[in-house]
Amino acid sequence: KNEVEQSPQNLTAQEGEFITINCSYSVGISALHWLQQHPGGGIVSLFMLSSGKKKHGRLIATINIQEKHSSLHITASHPRDSAVYICAVRYSGAGSYQLTFGKGTKLSVIP
Amino acid sequence: NAGVTQTPKFRILKIGQSMTLQCAQDMNHNYMYWYRQDPGMGLKLIYYSVGAGITDKGEVPNGYNVSRSTTEDFPLRLELAAPSQTSVYFCASSRDRVDEQFFGPGTRLTVL
């Protein structure tokens, strides 16, 4: 069964700390997404990547295709970063419309 | 642009009742999706559509139906509500199959 595993499940950090959230998957993919779910429930797309690294502000996403692993880093964390971060992958193959989602990592940043 | 909108935000149903969850997008996206999110679980795809008049089942379609008569709208129908359908439902859209998805605010449904 193709699964997406995230670690840790829960993470508490002090404001200013460097945060890393990990995502691993089992077979070849065509793309990996990182999403943020706010405490109010809304979901926004942060990154979509198929190789290398992307950066947006204090957020950095990397992917290692050979190791089937991706990381989401947050530099200089802030309480407003508190949210659930979700990894999702699109597995390779014709007609692969579906995203397979991880269960999410709940991040709490304490002032 | 409003993006992806969903109504209602909250709803309580009795077992056996029916309802339609509304979803609309104003970005002229061809692809639209319905997901459910259960506590402690990843989002699961219920149905998706690749354009007006074309829909297909996702991972967990049982107990649901969809239609796509226009590019903008993608309603999800629950015919005979069951407690197992208690969940948060998200609608999403994307420009194409491999593009990022834009999510609606969600509908929290409770079936008692």
Distance (Å) from the alpha carbon of B86 to chain A's nearest alpha carbon: 16
Distance (Å) from the alpha carbon of B18 to chain A's nearest alpha carbon: 24
Contacts of B110 (CB under 8 A, 6+ apart): B11, B12, B13, B86
Determine the pLDDT at residue B85: 97
Residue of B nearest to A30 (CA): B98
Would you say B56 and B48 are in contact if contact means Cβ atoms under 8 Å apart?
Answer: yes
Distance (Å) from the alpha carbon of A15 to chain B's nearest alpha carbon: 26
pLDDT digits (tens, 9 = 90+) for B78-109: 989 999 999 999 999 999 888 899 999 999 99
Residue of A nearest to B99 (CA): A48
Contacts of B59 (CB under 8 A, 6+ apart): A98, B44, B45, B46
B103:A98 CB<8 A: no
pLDDT digits (tens, 9 = 90+) for B44-74: 999 999 999 999 999 999 999 999 999 999 9
- Which tokens go with A76? 């200089």
**Chain B hits for A42, Cβ within 8 Å:** 103, 105-106
Q: Looking at the complex, does the CB of residue A70 fall below 8 Å from at least one CB of chain B?
A: no
Supply φ then ψ for residue B85, to 5 degrees.
-90, 0
- Which tokens go with A62? 């990397």
Q: Which of A2, A23, A25, A99 to mutate to test the interface with B (most CBs of B within 10 A)?
A: A99
B98:A100 CB<8 A: no
Contacts of A95 (CB under 8 A, 6+ apart): none
Residues 54-73 on B with a CB inside 8 Å of A are 56, 58-59
Determine the pLDDT at residue A94: 56
Nearest to B45 among A4, A45, A98 (CB): A98
Would you say B6 and B22 are in contact if contact means Cβ atoms under 8 Å apart?
Answer: yes
Distance (Å) from the alpha carbon of B92 to chain A's nearest alpha carbon: 10
- Which tokens go with A31? 């793309």
Q: Smallest Cα–Cα separation from A46: which of A73, A10, A11, A78?
A: A73
pLDDT (tens digit, 0 to 9) for every residue of chain A, 111 residues total?
A: 568 999 999 999 999 999 999 999 988 888 999 999 998 889 999 999 999 999 999 999 999 999 999 999 999 999 999 999 999 999 877 556 788 999 999 999 999
Rounded Cα–Cα distance for residues B35 and B45 (Å): 4
Q: What is the mean pLDDT of chain B?
A: 95
